[in-house]
Structure 1
Amino acid sequence: MTYDEFLAELGKAGLSVRAFAKLIGMNPTSVSNYASNGEVPRHLAVIAALLAEMNLRGVAFQVAIERVGSARKKPRGSGRPGRFGGDRQEQLELVSGLNDTSSQL
């Protein structure tokens, strides 16, 4: 689904990108970043299409989604000094004289 079609489905559902992202537990910026690709991942497209259809038929989808809960994903790459992506990094030993190997060839 193109991003424009996705926005049309959200409009039918009565949702903005921000409201959609909040409803499904995503960062609004992550959703709007798909505009640069021009395409929306299938799982988000399916959700938007289903929400639009439910809204057009008068089904209160907010109640059903709230039953799922609001457990958000843990952010990836929570970098701290000495860590990359949350994993402890080993200190690398640099070997001196690496440039000297070219003279041995």
Structure 2
Amino acid sequence: MTYFEFRDQLKRARLTVREFASLVKMNENSITNYSQKGAVPSHLAVIALLMGEMADHQIEFRDIIDQMEIEQKKPRGAPIKFGMSHAKPALQG
């Protein structure tokens, strides 16, 4: 599914990207980054499509998803350490 189609499904579900990210316990930036790739992973596409269909049939999905214990997705990559000096100490003597 293209990112544009994904956004259309979210509109059908009456959700913003921020609301979708909150429901599925993802970082909003992780989702918006797919706009640069042009497509979203199939698991997010399926979720958005089902949410859109449920909204079209007046089936409330937010409360159901909120009741689930979804584990927060862990950030990938090495943590950034600010304020650390990488310079080697000068030799004395």
Counterpart of 2:69 in structure 1 is 69
The normalised TM-score by structure 2 is 0.79
Q: Per-residue deviation at 1:78?
A: 4.8
Q: Per-residue deviation at 1:64?
A: 1.0
Provide the identity percentage: 46
- Partner of 1:15, secondary structure, is coil
Check if 1:3 corresponds to 2:3: yes
Structure 1 residue ranges, 4+ long, deviating more than 2 angstroms after superposition? 73-81
- Could you tell me which runs of 5 or more consecutive residues in structure 2 were left unpaired when the two chains were aligned: 82-93
Give the alignment's Cα RMSD to 1 decimal: 1.6
Q: Which has more radius of gyration?
A: 1
Per-residue Cα deviation, 1:28-79 (whole angstroms, up to 9, x for no partner): 0000000001111100000000000001101110111012124312333353
Instruction: Name whichever structure is richer in helix by fraction.
Output: 1
The normalised TM-score by structure 1 is 0.71
